[in-house]
Structure formats: structure tokens, C-alpha cells
Amino acid sequence: MSEPQPSAAVGAGAIAAPAGGNRTFLAVLINTAAANVTTSFLWFALTFWVYLETRSVLATGIVGGAYMLLLAVFAMVFGSLVDRHRKHRVMVFSGVITLTAFLLAGALWLAFPEAALLDLGEPWFWLFSGIILAGSVVENMRNIALSTTVTLLVPVERHANANGLVGTVQGLAFVVTSVFSGLSVGFLGMGWTLAIALVCTALALLHLLTIRIAEDRPAAADEPGPLVDLRGAARAVRSAPGLFALIIFSTFNNLIGGVYMALMDPYGLELFDVKIWGIVLGVTATGFIIGGGLVAKFGLGKNPIRTMLWIVIGMGVLGAVFTLRDWWWLYALGIWVYMALIPPVEAAEQTVIQKVVPFATQGRVFGFAAAFESAAAPVTSFLIAPIAQFLIIPYMNDDSGRATWGWLLGEGQSRGIALVFLIAGLVMVVIGALAFLTRSYRILSRQYSDATVNAEVADPGETDAAGAERSAERQAPAERQAAAQPSDPDRSAS
């Protein structure tokens, strides 16, 4: 019989972590990292393979954008499933679906010649890529479940550190993935790469079956409602003032992610051989480990939102300058620093959600956030890939483009991609700076420091009475019941 799930503390954003929770969390974290390695390994290999065989920026942009688009579409489904089922069961379900998808992709590889799978005009390329895509997208359900296990298993004062540890492990996974994806495609080909992914997926699933997470049946499992509980997620987000604005800001931040998704690999593969490019990504991905390790060690400061905004501004500056010259070392160094900045940004958002949102609705909130934020990247990916392919790259290869921008971007390959990176980075700097001036930033910062769940924090421009009235309206039912006086029969009955 499992241990009872700790109940949410009234007026606090934490639940009491069970005995041995940290050890269980580490086991879940390592298993999720292994699953992430496998899906990323195959996904990176597919991207490398498609570009090397077709030399089409448009194809890689569509494949990459489709991944984020499907993640945006299904993130709310994943979040609802996480809230309605035990976290371990959700992870097992995700692993089974991913393994099934990769088995189907393997069957297609055996059934058709490689040339047929690479013909962009035939359905087999899109079916093969789409099945791998689906398996990789479903695996992300585990990441939403993992974010909620931080709340379930780790003491609240260590949430930021645990989220940093997640970034460190994911960075280590990215190192392994980047190096071995390029080497695998270069030396073994796509067929053997797919076979390796199948074996590793099966092993990760078997290990997951040995892990036990102490958790009672979630209360949401007995609540009537649709599979995609958009209304419940929206309610949970609105109950934390400023949280929606934080999600919107993270969505804008992902716009630049769409640019990188569409153009980073093509730019790198113009500078490096595929085997070397995989090693470069592996080495620069140590930035993930450094950034996540710093968060795991030192946390995110008293105000994670402020920390996140400053880092985003730094990411924008970096994105604007790391391709100003066609120097391989400048590009590699820029990627390393950029990757070191990603874990603190992601950990900041997760830490805020874990503190200001009740555990029972965190899956839907994380799914809601993932849906919005993931939707931004495919927008830019789908837009930038054809624009770069047919307009900007030819323009920068022409004498007029070089004459206009040569003083800033220099000479060399892929100056059109460099121009796109420059503009995207400057836009991100402006958005990050403006976010400091918003009312939502002030309100959410105060709510985080107040350490209460779903409690309104009045803006300085509001009167005390108005702030108290809005707080009472938003107060959770459990809190109202706890605050009720026994001698007041009307309030007790309510």
C-alpha cells in the first residue's frame, strides 16, 4: 500500500515531502534523462540526416517546426493526464507509446529503400518523419510529470535547486545526444541509429517499471471534465496574479527559439562536417551542465522572475552578435554561453509555478504553459525557414546585400542566416527590457515573496480595501473553510 500523499498546506505553496522523497526524485530524474537522451538522439539524427541528404533548409524548418507545433497542440492533453493519474503511471504510458512509434518507424525503414524515404515529394518521407516526431512528442509528457514530482517529492526550499539539477541532467543528456547523433549518422547511417534508439527506449521503460512513487489517487481523477481541461487550466493560471503574463513572456522568448530551431543546424553544417558538428554541439552543450549546476548550487536568488528577465536580455545580446563574423570559434562560443543561460530561465518559471500553484492543478498549468510557449517556436520556424531560403539568403549573396550589411556582418558563408540572428536577438533585448516595466512583473514578484498559493497581492496603485476584496474573491475554498469561525453556522455550512 502506498504512503498517503501529503496534503497541501493552507496558505503555503508547499506540500510536505515524504521520507526518501529526494532519493525517489533522483531515480525518476535519471530515468527521465535516459528517455530524453534516446528521443533526442533519434530526433537530432533525423534532422542531420534530412539536411545532409536534401540540403534543404525548408525541410529541416518544417520538421523542426512540426515538432514544436505538435507539442503545443498536445501539451494541454498531457497536463490534464498528469493531473488525473498517478505520475508513475503517466510516465509508463508515455514510454510505451514512444517505443511503439519507434517500432513503426523501424518497420517503415525495413519496408522501403532509403531513397524513397528521402523523397520530399512522396508521402513516405513525411510518414517516416511524422512517426518519429510523434514518439518524441509523447515522450515530453514525462517532462510535465517530472516538474510535478519536484513539488511532490522535494522540500519547497529546495525547488529551485532541484529544477537546476533537472537542467544539469538534461544538459548532460544533450552532450551525449549531440556527439553521438552526428557520429551515428556519419558512421552507421540512419538505420542503425534507429535500431540503437529502439534498444535504449526499451531499456529505459524496463528501468522505469522498477521505480515506486508514493502517491495517492489524484483528486482530479474523480472530477468530471473533458480530456483537455482548458477551462480548469485557465482558472488555475488566473488564480495566481501575473502568472499568465509570465507565460506570455516565456512565449515571446521562445520566438527566438524558433529561429534557432530552423537555422542553427544549417549554419553549423556549413561551417563543420556532420561528425565535427555533432562533437561541437556536444562540447557546447556542457553549457547546460554549467548553467544547471550553478542553479542547483546557488538557486535563483530572492526573485527568480527578475533573474530570468536579466538572463533573457543577455540571451538577446548574445544572439545578435555570435554570427557577426563567419568565425567557427565565435559561433561555438556563442552556442556554449547561450546553452548555459537556458537552464536558469527554465528553472525560474518552473520554480514560480511550483510555489504559487497548488499541486493538484500543476499538471494542467505546466501543460498550459508548454502549449503557449511551444506554439511560438513553430510560428517563427515555419516563417523564417522559407523567408531565409528564398529571400534573405539570396539577398545577402547578392552584391546589394553585401554592400548594405557587409560592414556589420563581414564576408563569408551564410550571411543571410547571420542577419536573421541579429534581428531576432535585438527584438529579444527590447522585449526583456520592457517586461521590467509591467504591472504583472511587480505583482507576481510580490506574490512569490509572500509565499502564498493563489493569494492576491494588491498593486501599489490599488486601495487596501480593493486589494482585500479581490483577495477574498480568489481565496481557495479550502482556505475559506479553514478561516471560518465554528460559531458562525452560515459560514460553517458553506
Which string of DSSP letters, residue by residue, matches 378-445?
HHHHHHHHHHIIIIIHHHHHSHHHHHHHHHHH-SSTTHHHHHHHHHHHHHHHHHHHHHTT-HHHHHHH
Residue type present at position 287 = G
Which string of DSSP letters, residue by residue, matches 185-211?
HHHT-HHHHHHHHHHHHHHHHHHHTT-
Residue 3 is predicted with a pLDDT of 39
Q: What gap in Å lies between CA 209 and CA 85, rounded to an integer?
A: 16
Q: Is 157 exposed, middle or buried (0-12, 13-18, 19+ CB in 10 A)?
A: exposed
Query: Could you report the per-residue pLDDT of 343-381, keeping only the tens digit for each?
Result: 888 888 888 888 878 777 778 888 877 777 766 666 666
User: Of 388, 373, 111, 109, which is closest to residue 250 (Cα–Cα)?
Assistant: 373
Q: What gap in Å lies between CA 133 and CA 103, rounded to an integer?
A: 13
Residue 465 is predicted with a pLDDT of 42
Residue 20 is predicted with a pLDDT of 65
User: Of 361, 16, 368, 369, which is closest to residue 219 (Cα–Cα)?
Assistant: 361
Taking the domains of the chain in order of start, what are their residue ranges?
21-216+226-445
Residue 456 is predicted with a pLDDT of 38
Cell numbers placing 119? 523523397
Residue 195 is predicted with a pLDDT of 93
- The runs of H, that is alpha helices, within 285-414 are 286-298, 304-321, 328-356, 362-387, 393-397, 399-409
8 bridge partner residues: 15
Q: Assess contact for 92 and 158: CB atoms under 8 A.
A: no
Q: Which fold has domain 21-216+226-445?
A: Growth Hormone; Chain: A; (1.20.1250)
Q: What gap in Å lies between CA 374 and CA 371, rounded to an integer?
A: 5
Residue 452 is predicted with a pLDDT of 54
Q: Assess contact for 367 and 77: CB atoms under 8 A.
A: yes
Positive or negative: CA dihedral 345, 351, 354, 357: negative
Residue type present at position 6 = P
Q: What gap in Å lies between CA 382 and CA 384, rounded to an integer?
A: 6
Parts of the chain with a pLDDT under 70: 1-20, 55, 57, 61, 64-65, 170-175, 178, 219-230, 252, 255, 257, 261, 374-382, 451-494
Query: Could you report the per-residue pLDDT of 442-460, keeping only the tens digit for each?
Result: 888 887 777 554 433 333 4
Cell numbers placing 465? 480595501
Backbone phi and psi for residue 358, each to the nearest 5 degrees, phi listed first: -60, 150
User: Of 348, 344, 349, which is closest to residue 292 (Cα–Cα)?
Assistant: 344
Q: Assess contact for 149 and 70: CB atoms under 8 A.
A: no
pTM: 0.64
Distances (CA, A) of 280 to 183, 188, 262, 334, 423: 11, 19, 18, 12, 25
